[in-house]
Amino acid sequence: MSSGVILLVEDEGILLWDVEQSLVEAGFEVASAFNAATAIETFDLDPERISAVLTDIRLGDGGTGWDIARHARVTRPTLPVVYMSGHGADDWPSEGVPNSIMISKPFVMAQVITALATLLNAASSLGIS
């Protein structure tokens, strides 16, 4: 489906695995990280390779999904970002990057796939990759 890689960030191992498998089944290539530091390092290795960020907000010690998205948007200002969280939806208007999508946990994978497809299609139609 995507010509780039979805950077998936989730600190709960079983949820990370489940979301990663669902994304792969939907045709996405995925790079996974358990924390903000690893996600930022993965992004910085090749920012143009990343086509979207899908991140939990609360990631334990070290950083948040808000931090990852803001870091990525410095280099790629229009990079699609989808947040998924059980506790951060109220902070999304003030903490989230513009033109992002918030999905509250628990969710069904169709919500995630639809959110990613919507943002990726919007970027593609504007000639942004």
pLDDT digits (tens, 9 = 90+) for 23-67: 999 999 999 999 999 999 999 999 999 999 999 999 988 899 999
* Rounded alpha-carbon distances, angstroms, from residue 112 to 15, 29, 46, 75, 126: 13, 14, 24, 24, 21
Fold of 5-125: Rossmann fold (3.40.50)
**Beta-sheet pairing, 81-85 with 50-56:** parallel
Q: Is the pLDDT of residue 89 over 80?
A: no
Both tokens of 128, joined, read: 């942004």
What pTM value is reported for the model? 0.93
Q: Which of 80, 93, 82, 89 lies closest to 52, judged by CA?
A: 80
Tell me the domain boundaries of the chain. 5-125
pLDDT confidence band for 127 (50 / 70 / 90): low
**What pLDDT sits at residue 86?**
82
